[in-house]
Amino acid sequence: MLSVRLVGPGRAGRSLAGALVDVGCDVVGLLGRGDDLRAAAAGVDLLVLATPDAALPSVASAVAPVDDTVVMHLSGALGLDVLAPHRRRAALHPLAPLPSAEVGRVRLRSGITFAVAGDPLSRELAGLLGGRVVEVADEDRAAYHAAACIASNHVVALLGQVERVAASAGLDVEAFTGLARHALVDVADLGAAAALTGPAARGDQATIDRHRSALDPEDLPGYDAGVALARRLAERRHAAVPTAESLAEPTAEPLVVTSARAFSLAMDTERARGRTVGLVPTMGALHAGHRALIEQAAAECDTAVVTVFVNPLQFDDPADLAAYRRDLPSDVALAARAGAKIVFAPGVEEMYPGHPEPPAATVHVAGLTEVLEGTSRPGHFDGVATVVTKLFALAGRCRAYFGEKDFQQLAVVRRLVADLSLPVEVVGCATVRDPDGVALSSRNARLRPEARVAARSLRRALAAGLSRIRSGARDADVVHAAMWAELTGEPLVTPDYAEAVGAGDLRVPDRLQGDVRLLVAATVGGVRLIDNDGAVLDAEDRAQPLVSAVFVQTTKEH
């Protein structure tokens, strides 16, 4: 149990004392004016100085230092130097108004943000209270605290002006607080520039003039200052947010959004403007294969949209998740060159509130997920189905583009869309290959040179299987044997599976017929790779090859 003593029985001190008791801390005392502070740091893990900023240096110097005790202040404006001569110093500033001890006690445990500095105990304490943290260095504290005061004190002062102006029209301020609340939510979701509306934002001087004529002269300076700030923000938005004309250019920087609400709103806006949406879900680490998907989406739809989200539900090994390459600026740049206009790049908590606790609701597609990759990676396709369903729910009506390289994934997505009646058209796109026939994958970067050569055996195995089919083989075991022999003939390759299945149900049939898919998986030099190819057996039992790949000349860009 963390033992804590506080100095300063004001609103902040009493609010924090109550909140710490609620989370199981041992609050041993709350000292005030006239108390002897010399031994205040003795016998406790943490001493909190909840005094006014001007008193902090003198209060800190009045306390005899104790090497193992952390001395912490609650100031947003001051650095750690005011806590001299104490060895372990910290700062914890709650980004929330504390109007009373009773309200503050609850608010401090409501998931607010704390600005922390110094000893790690400050971060631990914020976590104990259930809050989020931002690190603020001493040299940045003045700017940080100015922003905090503008967000709280200045906003309240502005609403005071709203209250006065509303009263002049015979209205209560309550009629306008809901408007202010929605505006704040929009700023949190979209950013201030995108959330801005009103006459100053659209350059409507006539309306501004009418406002000024109706206001009391004492309120004009505040109103004019607000107009000036809105105009400045509008100028920044005009410079930062792509226009309809700039979005028409393939090289324009895409609009990047991280909020689920903002993404959904952007999709609704595109459709409201009569534009069709082409969605390309990815886990980032984009390469030429992804670029082909984005280019196809851009060619067939008015607005190509890329999602970049490393989905933790698709990883059964935390080390693989941690090692997965993340480079959003590079992904955005490639998406821009391919014609994407919007990139949705949410954080994990945006997609799975409560993470790392697993979501209570997940999506399972029975039948297609227990075979092939599902055997080697149990639970993987539940992660795929869950995140894709969430993305489709946020995106709304669209066309969604998936590569045939992950054919089982494509089959799972098609089934969940059909079974759940989602307003999404799923488009399968041909596998993109390097000139040596190896299917493009973010995993290829992990292949050593000799393993890269060995990886060609997957493509040779598929060719051997297709050759048997074209020669008349209709027994899946015969086709399997041909592919397996090709894989096992390469010393650096450890095969996982090599199957000929029905393209619709991914099951091995008694006799190959109709749409057939050949799928292989193997570990090559320690890296697991997959590939596939297909053919359609017509009514006369002849094998018709599918256009299942495009080839690219790779460059450093890819």
Q: What is the pLDDT of residues 146-162, one digit of tens each?
A: 999 999 899 999 999 99
192-196, 328-332, 376-380, range with the lowest pLDDT: 192-196
List, in sequence order, the alpha helices (H) in 99-204: 101-107, 121-128, 141-149, 155-168, 174-190, 192-195, 199-202
2-11, 191-200, 360-369, 412-421, range with the lowest pLDDT: 191-200
Q: Which domains does the chain have, with CATH numbers?
A: 3-136 (3.40.50.720), 144-240 (1.10.1040), 245-429 (3.40.50.620), 442-551 (3.30.1300.10)
Q: Regarding predicted confidence, which is higher, 11 or 537? A: 11
The SS3 call for residue 475 is: coil
* Cα-to-chain-centroid distance, residue 302: 25
SS3 content of the chain, % helix, strand, coil (to 5): 45, 20, 35
* pLDDT single digits (tens) 426-449: 999 988 888 888 998 888 888 999
* pLDDT single digits (tens) 159-186: 999 999 999 999 998 889 888 887 887 7
Q: What percent of the chain has pLDDT over 90?
A: 67
**Mean local confidence (pLDDT), 337-354:** 91
| Residue 541 zone, left/alpha/beta (φ > 0; ψ -120 to 50; rest) | left
pLDDT at 299 over 50: yes
pLDDT at 545 over 70: no
Cα 470 to Cα 536: distance, rounded to the nearest angstrom: 10
pLDDT at 243 over 50: no
Give the pLDDT score at 245.
43
**Mean local confidence (pLDDT), 249-259:** 73
Mean pLDDT (the chain) is 89
Cα 371 to Cα 505: distance, rounded to the nearest angstrom: 10
| DSSP annotation of 312 | G
Q: Using pLDDT thresholds of 50, 70 and 90, give the confidence band for residue 91.
A: very high
Cα 382 to Cα 395: distance, rounded to the nearest angstrom: 20
Q: Which residues are catalytic?
A: 290
**In 204-258, at which residue ranges do the beta strands (DSSP E only) sit?**
255-257
Q: Which of these, 417, 415, 408, lies nearest to 501 by C-alpha position? A: 408
**Mean local confidence (pLDDT), 14-27:** 94
Q: Which of these, 49, 55, 95, 52, lies nearest to 73 by C-alpha position? A: 49
User: Which residue has tokens 């993340």?
Assistant: 326
pLDDT at 219 over 50: yes
pTM above threshold 0.95: no
Give the pLDDT score at 539.
61
Give the pLDDT score at 247.
39
Q: Using pLDDT thresholds of 50, 70 and 90, give the confidence band for residue 552.
A: low
pLDDT at 102 over 60: yes
Q: Using pLDDT thresholds of 50, 70 and 90, give the confidence band for residue 251.
A: very low
